[in-house]
Structure 1
């Protein structure tokens, strides 16, 4: 199995158009959550995959499949318009509603009952971390042996269309009401609307995105054109602010590059140098 696929789970990717709606993280794409994460929001996407030993303090809703790994807890309802796969020891504090088939492992607890309109099979499903790696390899169109190709066709339906970039929350991340914190890199797409203080080693924000919170990174921060950050931006390395972007707070970095058409409503501190970038 190619080592590039699991490495991709180390990088947080929030795709274009992601919205934090009334304590629900919403995207029209798939959501992939690595192991040992704490998510204090509900999750709503085309498909929701949560790895082992996580806690989701909200409802999980998917228009496609839902996969929940071993010993993960969901503090709300779980609803899927297709199939559901629950690993060993999963606990759901709300109700489970499955429009399709249900694969359920040992020692699963569903406190408010469940409904499944398709087949119910009591068995431990494919481990979620394995499914995540296979999913990412299919997305990137890696070349495999024939046996792996056949397995991927069975698992992912054999769709020849390119798989859209999912929302990826890496292992060990914390998304609570105050912070969106990841151990490595975070890439936020364009036209997103997020609430929370972003923390990571590298943070990149696309265009026309609104963030209600601060940004703090160890190495690098990039704020794309026309984006708005309602908070301070601090970085141990370089901060880049694109054309038309607005920062409603201070900039504090080793070096700062600010486009001449950007607006910073605060103090800029850059002991390594400040550059004003001209429009070309």
Structure 2
């Protein structure tokens, strides 16, 4: 198996324009959730794929397919405009509504009943982790976009456009009402609106994003132009703040680099150096 494919699942990726609205993490892209995650709100995307042994304390809805891995629990409803695949031992506290076909494994419990307009097959579907590996390997190996689109449509039954830049939550992540915590790297896109304290080894946030919470990373934090952070930023390594960004709290890092057009309303602490950078620094280092 291609070793790069599992590596892609280790980085948390939140695509552009993602929002946490009314206890639901919402995006127009696909959502891929690794195994053994805990998510204390709902998920809404173009397609939703949740791996084994997860807990989602909210509803799951998708314009495309929904795949839920074995022994995963969903605390709300599950709704899909296409097909649904439920692995062995899945528990759904609400109602299951499927506009297309339903593949359902053994020992599945749906507390408020279900509706499926297409075929119903009682069998254990392809394990979600295998599905994810096939998808990622396909993206890495095909050179031409038409090959990728054909493979995804025929073999995986997914829309390539929505899967091109999916929202990825890596294995072992905790997303609750207080924190968005991952064991490795987290990349948050531009024009997002999120709530919670972000925790990771490396945290990079794009342009014009609003975060109602703090940011803490063991190695590095990068805050893009025009982004607003309603909290403190701390890192054992470096902190970089781009032009037009606002930090409504302190900066606490080993080294800090702040663009001259950024605004930091708290105290800046950097035992190994604080630098106020000029206009060309950000574009030279970050390409924007």
TM-score clears 0.5:
yes
Aligned to 1:18: 18
Residues 65 and 158 of structure 2 are in contact (CA less than 8 Å); yes or no, is this contact kept in structure 1? Answer: no
Q: Distance in 2 between matches of 1:160 and 1:16?
A: 17
Residues 215 and 234 of structure 1 are in contact (CA less than 8 Å); yes or no, is this contact kept in structure 2? Answer: yes
Q: Point out the structure with the larger helix share.
A: 2
Aligned to 2:41: 41
RMSD of Structure 2 on Structure 1 (CA) = 1.8
Aligned to 1:30: 30
Residues 139 and 162 of structure 1 are in contact (CA less than 8 Å); yes or no, is this contact kept in structure 2? Answer: no
Residues 134 and 152 of structure 1 are in contact (CA less than 8 Å); yes or no, is this contact kept in structure 2? Answer: no
Residues 152 and 160 of structure 2 are in contact (CA less than 8 Å); yes or no, is this contact kept in structure 1? Answer: no
Where do residues 150-161 of structure 1 align in structure 2 (5 Å cutoff)? Answer: 154-157=154-157
Q: Distance in 2 between matches of 1:168 and 1:174?
A: 13
5+ long unaligned stretches in structure 2: 144-148, 281-288
What whole-Å deviation, never above 9, does each CA across 1:178-204 have from its counterpart, x for those lacking one? 000000000000000000000000000
- TM-score, length basis structure 1: 0.95
Q: Distance in 2 between matches of 1:191 and 1:161?
A: 19
Aligned to 2:109: 109
Aligned to 2:57: 57
Q: Distance in 2 between matches of 1:34 and 1:247?
A: 31
SS in 1 for 2:234: strand
- TM-score, length basis structure 2: 0.92
Residues 213 and 231 of structure 1 are in contact (CA less than 8 Å); yes or no, is this contact kept in structure 2? Answer: yes
What whole-Å deviation, never above 9, does each CA across 1:57-92 have from its counterpart, x for those lacking one? 000000000000000000000000000000000000
How many residues get paired? Answer: 276
SS in 2 for 1:100: coil
Aligned to 1:146: none
Aligned to 1:230: 230
Q: Distance in 2 between matches of 1:206 and 1:160?
A: 24
Q: Distance in 1 between matches of 2:98 and 2:130?
A: 23
Residues 83 and 102 of structure 2 are in contact (CA less than 8 Å); yes or no, is this contact kept in structure 1? Answer: yes
Residues 161, 176 of structure 1: CA spacing in aligned structure 2 closer, same or farther, 3 A cutoff?
closer
Q: Distance in 2 between matches of 1:51 and 1:157?
A: 17
Give the deviation of 1:139 after TM superposition. 3.1
